Amino acid sequence: MKQKKSNLNKEHESFATFKRIVRYDEMIASGTYPNVEDFKREFKVSEATVHRDLDALRMDFGAEFVLEYDRFHKGYYYTRPTFRVPGHLSTGKQIIAARLMQNLIESLHGTPLYNQAIEVFANFSDNIEPDPQISLGKEFSKKISFIGMEPVQISNEVWDNIETALAKNQYITFDYSFYDGNEQTKKYTIAPWQLLYYQGMWSLYGNVPKEKKEKFFNLPLISNVEVRKETFEPPEESAYLKRAKGNFGRYIGSETFNFKIRINRDVTVNYIKTYKWTDDQKFETQPDGIVIMTFSSNQYYPVLNWIMSQGQWITPLEPPQLVEEWKENVLCMMKNANL
């Protein structure tokens, strides 16, 4: 266990060093002649760490013969202006991929996957052939951002037990917290089928034998997980993506509905057409310019929420119960607005 922790700490340090090296490169290549004090302020590290990083930049990232110190400007510069890091990646596309991987790994910070992602990144970095000539792709990669909810915090113990049960198709028992006027806890025994990640939330999808139905459980609300000896045979269609008909949210209903909506604005039409909401979505432009969208989905409530989120620019036409619920919501909002 100590050896594993030691290796993991080294990988954390390696990843942190890589992030600093990339920033060193940006600062040096900017032509501003940054010095040791600049690096210390930028990264909040010691002078010894800065010198170790500069040694790594020279020996591990191909800057051995191009990184020099200018005594007049009192800072570092590249003797070959075209040199850029990460030079140990073999193509511009790999540079972009490495930077995107770095962003993705950071988005997992605080979750049990973070350590595993760092291990993968470390192995990836160690097995790419050096080529200090490559500098393509770096500027482009800086202009790509990942926008979304911050990942939730998950107990390592909860994650590890669920991971074990998923791998071996074993039942699990756990306490689940929920709010129903008051905070409560309920004990569940389920057959875990799949872990899902949606908008910053990790959830467990599985079958609850006692209730004879499938449910989703948010991982931060799960505690006291016990992996049982009993095993189960997962159904062929246990995967969420095979059961869910639509991309409106994390939801699988027991019934599939045929939806028909009217879209009243060109900008909204263009936005909606950009995405694949369902496999069978269709758009028909009417003589008056209004666009009718039809599709089928078993995600009734996420579809309702999606329609509400589009405000005045979408009007549901079918099924009838959706139209009625939409009207009730609109009337409630009008009442809340004192209209």
How far CA 158 is from CA of 56, 104, 161, 333, in Å, comes to 38, 23, 5, 40
Side-chain half-sphere of 243: how many Cα atoms within 13 Å?
18
**Position 202 confidence tier, pLDDT thresholds 50, 70, 90:** confident
**Opening angle at CA 56, ends 51 and 61, nearest 5:** 140
Mean pLDDT, range 243-269, rounded to an integer: 93
Q: Which has the higher per-residue pLDDT, 170 or 90?
A: 170
The predicted model scores a pTM of: 0.63
Percent of the chain with pLDDT over 70: 76
Task: Decide if pLDDT at 76 tops 90.
Answer: yes
- Give dist(CA 206, CA 192) in Å, integer: 4
Domain ranges of the chain: 2-141, 156-234, 244-336
CB-based contacts of 286, cutoff 8 Å, min separation 6: 292
Q: Quick one: CATH architecture of 244-336?
A: 2-Layer Sandwich (3.30)
CA 64 – CA 67 distance, rounded (Å): 6
CATH topology of domain 156-234: SH3 type barrels. (2.30.30)
Q: Is the pLDDT of residue 317 over 90?
A: yes
Q: Which has the higher per-residue pLDDT, 82 or 234?
A: 234
88 contacts 130 by C-beta, under 8 angstroms = yes
pLDDT given for residue 179 in this prediction: 75
Evaluate if residue 99 carries a pLDDT over 70: no
- pLDDT at residue number 194: 93
pLDDT of residue 136: 39
- Is the distance from CB of 309 to CB of 244 less than 8 angstroms? no
Q: Predicted confidence band at 21 (pLDDT cuts at 50, 70, 90)? A: confident
User: Span 185-195, mean pLDDT?
Assistant: 95
pLDDT digit string (tens) for 151-175? 678 888 998 899 899 999 999 999 9
Give the domain 2-141 fold. Arc Repressor Mutant, subunit A (1.10.10)
Q: At what angle do helices 47-59 and 36-43 cross, to 10 degrees?
A: 100
Model confidence at 30, pLDDT cuts 50, 70, 90, reads: confident
Average pLDDT over residues 22-51: 91
Q: Which of 69, 77, 60 is nearest to 132 (CA)?
A: 60
